[in-house]
């Protein structure tokens, strides 16, 4: 468990910095509509704090063929000489020879491309892959479009030198990234005439990734803490029982002059002999279990796996797993050796209150089987502290397992359900607003309206991009993300703001949100309400289309189409296509992020499984210790004719005493504590419904019952192997 947490947590926490460093990621990436280099270069050169800069021409929607794969959404980055901003994982730099390309690792992996493979690029013909690259400025293919890099000098060598080449991306490396705000301010002041300007900062990318990774890391840290607590309690109890069993031996050794420290050391060394290889094995297994999903997740977001960087955290985990049993064994031995040797040789108890009343002391023994089960329950509840620890461990583990299953379900829902975005339209059609009456007449359509969208920048902090969405009239017919505070949009000057944006900018109803539009103009809106939206991580602003078009007449226009109840999307799509539209089904929040979601879900489920292992470990320990401490009781029962089945009933009673309350605790914990707490963590994105469903609860309880039965069978078998005489001696 600890190693799993370390592998995933460390990988995610350090992934961006590691990859950004490796890729020499620029501090600022500015994208704009194509411009001649001579118009942009002087403005960039004049910025303060500039260590270096480079320009690219980014060509999108290129037809790209690699092996048996093809994409019409390919992105070609034409690199001018200078720093490049990506990490070369394999191969070499582009030379000035035509016909060479570097491909992004996501493309290489998905399409099975290697160094020397051939790519076909529309307009350029065959290209040879000379390098495989990784850049954390964007997620990898297939989460994003396939990306390849070409060299401008090589294109110049083939097609002739362009005197004033066109560029649309500027990468800026700063000498002192702390001056970023000033640099962005100056860049903005001299950006006039650059249409479609979008600025992304390295910090902006990191913050987003950290936020996403933060939830997973928080989960793993919590689970690690539980695992550690479990291990400490169980190992302590186990060691104590072992010391108790060997009290006579300790007494003898004390009688012949062995020192206390020597005795404690002996026990610690014995524990270390077991715990060091066992800990190493556990860490190794944890690493192997978690490495795959973790690396896949990192690759999906274009980050590098930690590699040897993981050695230190894993070594720490190993040390911890080895140290806990050593301390748990050494300390009770040290305490025991404090007693007089004679008392120890008589078999004295190892401290603590003797004859403590069982928590189930009043349970009366009824019929034979029930009586045995009740006896088992009494035996396990006699050690109150241990029972409470077991209940805590099992309860919290069950709670976390339920939480992770709920989270995984929620992610799956978000992936495919547009309703999770508050979207009520099912289709979009690329038609002008004038076509609304014509579309409205089609059967199967409940409502249709023009929808305008433009990507803008926050005026005060240029690193934040914002989706500005406008409808004529009531937008809640088509998009109604839940209103958190304030009121719905009522005027052209008002806006509904996504919770993600509100949180970043400190907005509340009545505040002003200022956005810089691609035209270079700024638009300001008074915040009418805050809404929960998962689109663009909640960085979304709903305004009236009139206000949007007044500031940005070139905003992207399409029709939002809401279907009638029972209408067939396929049929409506066909009718819309007949009008000349290109209808498109509305996707969920994570529509393009299937791989990312799949990786995240895999991690959550892997962690849930490891958590399940923690449960069975805690249960076996509790039963095993009970059986060991009460071996004389069990021996008496067996001497009186109790068979293996009766012992299993006895231990089954003990297991039920631990599992039943723990299951209840787990369900309540998830519903009232963990679920709401996790929803609060994710509140920057949206309100998530993280209560486990009845199916999930039933599955977990069934799994727990199976685990308990397995634990009972195993412990009963162990207890049955001991000769009765030995147990009674």
Partner 1 sequence: MSSERDPGAEASLTRREALVKITSGGTALLLASCGMSPRRAPAANGSTLLSSYVDPGGVGVLEIGDGIPLLDRQELAPRALPGVVLCTIAHLTDVHVLDEQSPARVPFLRRLGAPFNSTFRPQEAFTAHVLAGAVRAIGRLAPNAVIQGGDLIDNAQGNELELALELLRGGPVDPASGGRGYVGVQVASNPDPLYYRPDLDAPRHPGILAASTRRFTSTPLSVPWHPVLGDHDILVQGVLAPSKITREIALGTRAIWDLPAHLRIPGELTDAAITAASSSPDGLAAPAVVGQLIQAASKAPAVTVPADPARRELDVAEVLARLRATSGSGGAGERMDYSFDVGSNVRVIVLDLVRREGGSGGLVHGEQRRWLAHELARAGRRWRLLASHQPLTSSEGGEALLALLDRDPRVLAAIWGHTHRNRIIPRPTRAGGYWLIATCSLIDYPQELRALRVRETAGGGAALETWMIDHVPDGEIGDVSRELSYLDSQGGRPQAFQGGRLDRNVRLFKAAPSGD
User: Shortest gap between Cβ of 524 and partner 1 (angstroms)?
Assistant: 5
Cβ-based nearer residue to partner 1, 93 or 181: 181
Calpha distance 244→252 (Å, rounded): 14
User: Shortest gap between Cβ of 513 and partner 1 (angstroms)?
Assistant: 11
Q: How many CA atoms are closer than 13 Å to the CA of 217, on its beta-carbon side?
A: 13
Cβ-based nearer residue to partner 1, 17 or 461: 461
The DSSP call for residue 434 is G
Nearest to 406, CA basis, from 33, 700, 69, 31: 700
DSSP character string of 512-556: EEEEE-TTS-EEEEEEEEEE---GGGG-EEEEEHHHHHHH-TT-E
User: Shortest gap between Cβ of 459 and partner 1 (angstroms)?
Assistant: 5
Taking the alpha carbons at both ends of the chain, their separation in whole angstroms is 39
Q: Please answer whether residues 10 and 298 qualify as being in contact, where contact means their C-beta atoms are separated by less than 8 angstroms.
A: no
Cβ-based nearer residue to partner 1, 193 or 249: 193
What are the structure tokens assigned to 106, written together? 């996501």
Q: Can you say whether residue 4 is alpha, beta or left, with left for phi > 0 and alpha for psi between -120 and 50 degrees?
A: alpha
Q: Please answer whether residues 305 and 11 qualify as being in contact, where contact means their C-beta atoms are separated by less than 8 angstroms.
A: yes
User: Shortest gap between Cβ of 185 and partner 1 (angstroms)?
Assistant: 5
Please identify which residue in the block is written with the tokens 């949180």: 503
User: Shortest gap between Cβ of 184 and partner 1 (angstroms)?
Assistant: 7
User: Shortest gap between Cβ of 684 and partner 1 (angstroms)?
Assistant: 24
What are the structure tokens assigned to 514, written together? 């200022």
Nearest to 603, CA basis, from 187, 289, 284, 272: 289
User: Shortest gap between Cβ of 467 and partner 1 (angstroms)?
Assistant: 19
Parallel, antiparallel, or unpaired for β 540-544 and 465-471? parallel
User: Shortest gap between Cβ of 298 and partner 1 (angstroms)?
Assistant: 32
Cβ-based nearer residue to partner 1, 183 or 647: 183
Q: How many CA atoms are closer than 13 Å to the CA of 408, on its beta-carbon side?
A: 18
Cβ-based nearer residue to partner 1, 189 or 434: 189
What are the structure tokens assigned to 123, written together? 């307009």
Q: Please answer whether residues 399 and 676 qualify as being in contact, where contact means their C-beta atoms are separated by less than 8 angstroms.
A: no
H or E element in which residue 559 lies: strand 556-563
Strand-pair partners of 237: none
Cβ-based nearer residue to partner 1, 49 or 137: 49
Cβ-based nearer residue to partner 1, 535 or 551: 551
User: Shortest gap between Cβ of 710 and partner 1 (angstroms)?
Assistant: 59
**Please, is 38 exposed, middle or buried when counting C-beta atoms within 10 Å of its C-beta (0-12, 13-18, 19+)?**
exposed
Cα–Cα–Cα angle for 588, 590, 593, rounded to 5 degrees: 140
Cβ-based nearer residue to partner 1, 51 or 585: 51
The Cβ of residue 72 has, within 10 Å, a number of other Cβ atoms equal to 11
Cβ-based nearer residue to partner 1, 183 or 429: 183
User: Shortest gap between Cβ of 45 and partner 1 (angstroms)?
Assistant: 7
Burial 220-250 (b: 16+ CB within 10 A, else e): bebbbebbbbbbebbbbbbbbbbbbebbeeb
Length of the chain measured in residues: 729
User: Shortest gap between Cβ of 174 and partner 1 (angstroms)?
Assistant: 8
Cβ-based nearer residue to partner 1, 174 or 402: 174
SS3 670: helix
**Helices assigned H by DSSP within 337-449:** 341-345, 368-382, 384-416, 436-440
User: Which residues make up the interface to partner 1 (CB under 8 A)?
Assistant: 43, 45-51, 174-176, 179, 181-193, 459-460, 514, 516, 520-524
Cβ-based nearer residue to partner 1, 375 or 523: 523
- Measuring CA to CA, how many Å separate 260 from each of 98, 247, 512? 79, 13, 72
User: Shortest gap between Cβ of 573 and partner 1 (angstroms)?
Assistant: 40
User: Shortest gap between Cβ of 433 and partner 1 (angstroms)?
Assistant: 23
Cβ-based nearer residue to partner 1, 189 or 565: 189
Cβ-based nearer residue to partner 1, 8 or 174: 174
């Amino acid at each position: 468990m600890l190693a799993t947490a370390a592998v995933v947590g460390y990988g995610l926490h350090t992934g961006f910095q590691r990859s950004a460093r490796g890729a020499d990621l620029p501090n600022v990436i500015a994208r704009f509509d194509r411009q001649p280099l001579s118009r942009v270069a002087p403005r960039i050169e004049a910025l303060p704090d500039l260590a270096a800069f480079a320009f690219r021409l980014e060509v999108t929607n290129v037809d790209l063929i690699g092996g048996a794969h093809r994409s019409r959404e390919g992105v070609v980055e034409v690199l001018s000489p200078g720093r490049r901003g990506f990490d070369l994982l394999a191969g070499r730099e582009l030379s000035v020879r035509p016909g060479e390309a570097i491909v992004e690792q996501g493309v290489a992996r998905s399409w099975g491309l290697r160094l020397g493979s051939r790519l076909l690029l529309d307009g350029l013909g065959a290209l040879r892959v000379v390098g495989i690259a990784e850049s954390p400025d964007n997620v990898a293919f297939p989460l994003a479009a396939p990306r390849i890099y070409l060299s401008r000098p090589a294109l110049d060598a083939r097609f002739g030198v362009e005197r004033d080449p066109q560029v649309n991306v500027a990468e800026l490396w700063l000498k002192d990234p702390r001056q970023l705000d000033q640099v962005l301010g100056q860049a903005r002041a001299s950006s006039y005439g650059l249409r479609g300007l979008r600025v992304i900062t390295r910090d902006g990318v990191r913050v987003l990734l950290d936020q996403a990774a933060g939830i997973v890391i928080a989960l793993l840290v919590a689970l690690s803490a539980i695992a550690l607590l479990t291990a400490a309690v169980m190992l302590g109890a186990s060691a104590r029982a072992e010391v108790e069993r060997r009290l006579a031996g300790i007494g003898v050794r004390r009688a012949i002059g062995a020192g206390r420290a020597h005795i404690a050391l002996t026990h610690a060394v014995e524990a270390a002999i077991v715990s060091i290889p066992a800990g190493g094995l556990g860490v190794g297994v944890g690493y192997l279990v978690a490495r795959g999903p973790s690396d896949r997740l990192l690759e999906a977001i274009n980050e590098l796996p930690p590699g040897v960087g993981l050695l230190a955290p894993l070594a720490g985990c190993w040390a911890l797993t080895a140290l806990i049993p050593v301390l748990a064994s050494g300390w009770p031995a040290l305490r025991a050796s404090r007693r007089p040797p004679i008392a120890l040789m008589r078999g004295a108890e190892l401290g603590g209150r003797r004859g403590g009343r069982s928590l189930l002391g009043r349970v009366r023994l009824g019929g034979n089987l029930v009586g045995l089960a009740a006896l088992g329950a009494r035996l396990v509840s006699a050690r109150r502290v241990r029972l409470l620890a077991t209940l805590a461990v099992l309860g919290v583990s069950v709670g976390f397992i339920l939480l992770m299953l709920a989270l995984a379900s929620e992610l799956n829902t978000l992936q495919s359900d547009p309703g999770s975005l508050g979207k009520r339209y099912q289709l979009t059609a690329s038609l002008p607003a004038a076509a609304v009456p014509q579309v409205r007449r089609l059967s199967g359509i409940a409502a249709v309206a023009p929808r305008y969208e433009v990507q803008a920048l926050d005026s005060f902090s240029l690193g934040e991009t914002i989706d500005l969405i406008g409808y004529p009239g009531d937008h809640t017919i088509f998009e109604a993300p839940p209103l958190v505070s304030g009121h719905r949009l009522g005027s052209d000057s008002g806006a509904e703001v996504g919770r993600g944006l509100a949180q970043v900018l400190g907005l509340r109803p009545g505040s002003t949100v200022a956005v810089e539009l691609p035209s270079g103009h700024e638009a300001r809106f008074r915040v009418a309400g805050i809404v929960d939206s998962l689109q663009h991580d909640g960085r979304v602003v709903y305004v009236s289309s009139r206000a949007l078009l007044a500031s940005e007449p070139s905003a992207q226009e399409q029709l939002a189409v809401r279907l009638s109840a029972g209408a067939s999307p396929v049929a409506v799509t066909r009718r819309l296509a007949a009008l000349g539209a290109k209808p498109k089904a509305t996707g969920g929040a994570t529509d393009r992020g299937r791989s990312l979601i799949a990786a995240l879900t895999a991690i959550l489920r892997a962690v849930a499984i490891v958590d399940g292992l923690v449960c069975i470990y805690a249960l076996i320990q509790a039963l095993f210790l009970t059986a060991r401490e009460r071996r004389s009781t069990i021996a008496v029962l067996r001497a009186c004719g109790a068979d293996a089945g009766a012992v299993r009933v006895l231990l089954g009673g003990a297991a039920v005493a631990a599992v039943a309350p723990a299951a209840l605790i787990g369900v309540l914990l998830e519903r009232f504590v963990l679920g709401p707490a996790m929803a609060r963590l994710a509140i920057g994105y949206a309100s998530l419904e993280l209560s486990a469903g009845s199916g999930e609860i039933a599955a977990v309880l069934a799994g727990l019952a199976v685990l308990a039965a397995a634990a009972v069978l195993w412990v009963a078998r162990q207890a049955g192997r001991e000769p009765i005489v030995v147990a009674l001696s």
